[in-house]
Structure 1
Amino acid sequence: MGTWNPEEFKRTIRQVIDKMLDFNDEFIYDENGELVDVIVQVAFSWDEEKGEEHLRKRIEMGHLEKGTSMDKYNEIIEQLLAQEMALVSIHPNSFNKFVVGSRKFVDGKDWIVMFDNEGVIKTAYPPGDFDSYFTDSYHFLCYVDDLPSS
């Protein structure tokens, strides 16, 4: 485990979040040059491409409505990462895993997203004990809004 330097971690997390929210939209035009579709491609990826597995689990557990798409699940993650008042912590067992969470985020439920320093999503869900991710053995840093500009 590395040395605990909050300011360094804040800069790193800001860079990772900015990278994760760097959209690569693809614009589709017809033969007349008219825009017919926009395909939004997120810049983050899932751990070992397990996004669909996590989505099924969230639906089975009632965290998301039946029929929720992977695009909708990713949209929830994007919105959570972009929330200025979301809380930011560092995982207690690894200084390269981060947690961002927000209260009353989806349908009145608290949500978190865990990701690594490469912007790879590990999981995203409404935890049973939200506070434990921002107190106890986790290293609470700040709010997303307090992260320095990259």
Structure 2
Amino acid sequence: MSSLTWNDYQRHKSLFSNILGKILESGPEWFQGEAQKHLNERIARGHLKEHATIEQYNHFILFLLNQPKHTLTLHYDGMKYIVGNGKWIVIINESGIVETCFPPDNYVKYLSPSRGYVDLGKLREVLPDVEEIEK
């Protein structure tokens, strides 16, 4: 919780809990045209197989969001929530829209406090009702 007050931490837990519930119930929501754009970029960079589909990409996002051991990070300046597994991250804005999902070149450096990120903890610590799903 490094630079968050207890009240801010609790508020973000509540906000993200609502966002996560919506995504797990209805699936990831993207800005129009962005899912295909991001999928194409992941394929071009070799992060996903050449024939990956948006449905597979969204399923992978749901997998990342539903693992109790994955971390929840807040980008405090931009009000974005990041769920990561040490390799891949999913970035979700405060409205619950998925902005991207990718493996940063340097995971630790990408999510460093010097870049405005605050670690909120493991999903199981922040949201105890998260249950692991299979890939």
Q: TM class, shorter-chain normalised?
A: 0.7 to 0.9
Which stretch shows the higher mean deviation, 117-126 or 134-143?
A: 134-143
The answer (yes or no) to whether the contact 1:132–1:138 under 8 Å persists in 2 is no
The TM-score normalised by the length of structure 1 is 0.74
User: Bigger radius of gyration, 1 or 2?
Assistant: 1
- Report which of the two has the higher share of helix: 2
Aligned length: 122
Which consecutive unaligned segments of at least 5 residues does structure 1 have? Answer: 24-41, 104-109
Match of 2:44 in 1: 60
Deviations 1:113-137 (A, max 9, x none): 0011221010000111111344323
Distance 1:143 1:20, change over 3 A: same
Q: What is the deviation of 1:10?
A: 1.2
Which stretch shows the higher mean deviation, 75-84 or 129-138?
A: 129-138
Which consecutive unaligned segments of at least 5 residues does structure 2 have? Answer: 130-135
Q: Which amino acid aligns with 1:131?
A: V
The TM-score normalised by the length of structure 2 is 0.82
Q: Output the aligned Cα RMSD.
A: 1.8
Q: What is the deviation of 1:87?
A: 0.6
- Report which of the two has the higher share of strand: 1
Match of 1:144 in 2: 123
User: How many percent of aligned residue pairs carry the same amino acid?
Assistant: 25
Query: Among residues 63, 83, 89, which one is paired with 1:79 in the alignment?
Result: 63
